[in-house]
């Protein structure tokens, strides 16, 4: 049968529409961006880089996004973002700098300004009000510095600074590990350990408890005041620290004793241990994150190359280990996961930065059970020795949130 020219045109149009429909159905929709701090090479002086990845909304799979940009130094170790996801900060140990980038809706990073810290930066946090940037630094003496932020995210003058000192052991060497701010902006907590009391392979000169959490109330103008009875004992070598979104609990990983330590936050910001803690983890837990609903906790275990997950008893904050489909409480990552994040857009994807694997591992989070399953094609290659990662929603996409 021979078709007329009009019939042929109609047929071609229908075929084109069908192909376009199929392509649209298969198109990957970016729901988040993942930013990863790593090095361009394995050498000690290799330039730091920030790599960008697009997160597929359906699978959680990562695709390479915009080209990597310089971190503004070498040996980047920490990342933090403002709560409006418009600004990114990176700490570089190679040149003792903290560098500020703006984040475009397309995921493009643009360097804006930077500061030089007095000592080696270790960890960063921005308060949810986007008024202050907190930097913990030091390898032989620990310091918490608070910098004011402009409305455009620019790093301003130092608003407050305090040394991390354990009373009665003021000459001990305190090594900071991580810092966090409560969602209500009122309190800042720093995890650190006493190297004079815990020094594998070296000498011990102190009888102090090794691990500590320092707490500070944030007052007018950013003034920092130690909370009642601060610092608080925190096992042997605390590494990561994270609060829940309701301002009721704080969780700390103990790298040396393979534990997760939980605290209840009192009305004055002081901390009390959770009942039945500490809680067993994998080997050498390095970082911890609470999902945006306040329902699950996930932490990365460096030595096991794994993730451990817990449900949170909402009334008490007590973590209970999740059991996955393989009757195990751990989920395998690539080698040496040192950082972990949960996406804020859907709260359904978990990612780890794997330092020795030079990669990111991805997991799908079942919001009903908390169980994790691997994303497609994981792990995803990065630059050399990734150390930190953050996730932000794409554009104006709504985010998961818990309001106390």
CATH number of the domain within which 126 lies: 2.130.10.10
Classified as helix, coil or strand, 232 is strand
DSSP per position, 102-129:
EE-TT--EEEEEEEE-SS-EEEEEE-TT
Answer whether residue 403 is part of any domain. no
351 is a domain residue = yes
- What is the full DSSP assignment across 22-84? HHHHHPPPEEEEEEEEEESSSSTTPEEEEEEEEEETTT--EEE-SPPEEEEEESEEEEEE-TT
How far is CA 10 from its chain centroid?
54
Bond prior to 278 in cis (omega within 30° of 0)? yes
Strand boundaries in 270-315, DSSP class E: 271-273, 279-280, 285-290, 296-301, 306-312
Q: Is 217 within the bounds of a domain?
A: yes
Which of 387, 398, 401, 403 is CA-nearest to residue 71?
A: 387
Give 363: exposed, middle or buried? Use CB within 10 Å, 0-12, 13-18, 19+: buried
Report helix, strand or coil for 197: coil
Report yes or no on 246 lying in a domain: yes
In a domain, 399, yes or no: no
Q: What is the pLDDT of residue 267?
A: 96
**What's the Cα-to-Cα distance from 227 to each of 10, 88, 186, 192, rounded to whole Å?**
75, 29, 11, 16
pLDDT of residue 9: 41
Tokens at residue 241, please?
């620290």
pLDDT score at 345 = 84
| Domain encompassing residue 305 | 29-393
Instruction: Identify the pLDDT of residue 15.
Output: 38
Number of domains in the chain: 1
The answer to whether residue 160 is domain-embedded is yes
Query: Does the bond joining 379 to the residue before it have cis omega, within 30 degrees of 0?
Result: yes
Residue 5 in domain: no
Q: How far apart are CA 67 and CA 151, in angstroms?
A: 27
- Tell me which H or E stretch contains 88: strand 87-92
d(Cα 156, Cα 353) in Å, to the nearest integer?
30
Query: Does 18 fall in a domain?
Result: no
Answer yes or no: are the C-beta atoms of 178 and 111 closer than 8 Å.
no
Specify the pLDDT at position 400. 59
Buried b (16+ CB within 10 A) or exposed e, 138-171: beebbbbbbbbbeeebebeeebbebebbbeebee
Tens-level pLDDT at each residue, the chain (404 residues): 444 544 444 443 343 333 333 333 444 577 899 999 999 776 666 799 999 999 998 899 999 999 999 999 999 999 999 999 999 999 999 999 999 999 999 999 999 999 999 999 999 999 999 999 999 999 878 999 999 999 999 999 999 999 999 999 999 999 999 999 999 999 999 999 999 999 999 999 999 999 999 999 999 999 999 999 999 999 999 999 999 999 999 999 999 999 999 999 999 999 999 998 999 999 999 999 999 999 999 999 999 999 999 999 989 999 998 877 665 667 899 999 999 999 998 899 999 999 999 999 999 999 999 999 999 999 999 999 999 999 999 865 556 555 44
Look at residue 22 in the predicted model and tell me its pLDDT. 36
pLDDT of residue 139: 84
* Cα separation, 87 vs 132, whole angstroms: 13
């Amino acid at each position: 049968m021979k078709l007329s020219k009009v019939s042929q045109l109609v047929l071609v149009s229908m075929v084109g529409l069908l192909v376009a429909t199929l392509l649209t159905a298969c198109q990957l929709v970016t729901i988040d961006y993942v930013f990863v701090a790593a090095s361009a090479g394995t050498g000690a002086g290799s330039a730091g880089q920030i790599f960008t990845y697009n997160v597929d909304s359906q699978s959680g799979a990562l695709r390479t996004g915009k080209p990597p940009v310089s971190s503004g130094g070498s040996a980047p170790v920490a990342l933090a973002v403002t709560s409006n996801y418009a600004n990114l900060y990176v700490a570089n140990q190679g040149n003792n700098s903290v560098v500020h980038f703006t984040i475009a809706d397309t995921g493009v990073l643009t360097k804006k300004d930077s500061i030089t810290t007095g000592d080696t930066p270790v960890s960063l946090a921005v308060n949810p009000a986007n008024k202050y940037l907190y930097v913990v630094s030091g390898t032989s003496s620990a310091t918490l510095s608070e910098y004011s932020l402009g409305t455009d995210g620019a790093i301003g003058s130092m608003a407050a600074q305090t040394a991390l000192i354990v009373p009665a052991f003021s000459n001990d060497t305190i090594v900071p590990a991580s810092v966090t701010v409560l969602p209500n902006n009122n309190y800042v907590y720093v995890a650190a350990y006493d190297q004079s009391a815990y020094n594998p392979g070296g000498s011990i000169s102190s009888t102090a408890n090794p691990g500590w959490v320092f707490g500070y109330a944030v007052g007018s103008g950013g003034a920092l005041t130690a909370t009642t009875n601060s610092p608080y004992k925190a096992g042997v070598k605390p590494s990561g620290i994270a609060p829940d979104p309701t301002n009721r609990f704080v969780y700390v990983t103990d790298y040396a004793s393979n534990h997760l330590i939980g605290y209840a936050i009192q009305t004055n910001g002081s901390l009390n241990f959770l009942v039945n803690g500490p809680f067993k983890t994998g080997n050498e837990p390095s970082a911890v994150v609470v999902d945006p609903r306040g329902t699950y906790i996930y932490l990365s275990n460096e030595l096991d190359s794994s993730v451990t997950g817990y449900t949170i008893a909402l009334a008490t904050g007590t973590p209970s280990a999740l059991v996955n489909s393989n009757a195990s409480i751990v989920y395998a990552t690539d080698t040496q996961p040192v950082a972990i994040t949960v996406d804020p857009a859907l709260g359904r994807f978990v990612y780890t930065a794997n330092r020795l694997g030079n990669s990111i591992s991805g997991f799908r989070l079942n919001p009903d059970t908390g169980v994790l399953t691997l994303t497609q094609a994981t792990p995803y290659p990065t630059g050399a020795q990734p150390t930190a990662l953050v996730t932000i929603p794409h554009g104006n996409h709504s985010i998961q949130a818990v309001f106390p």
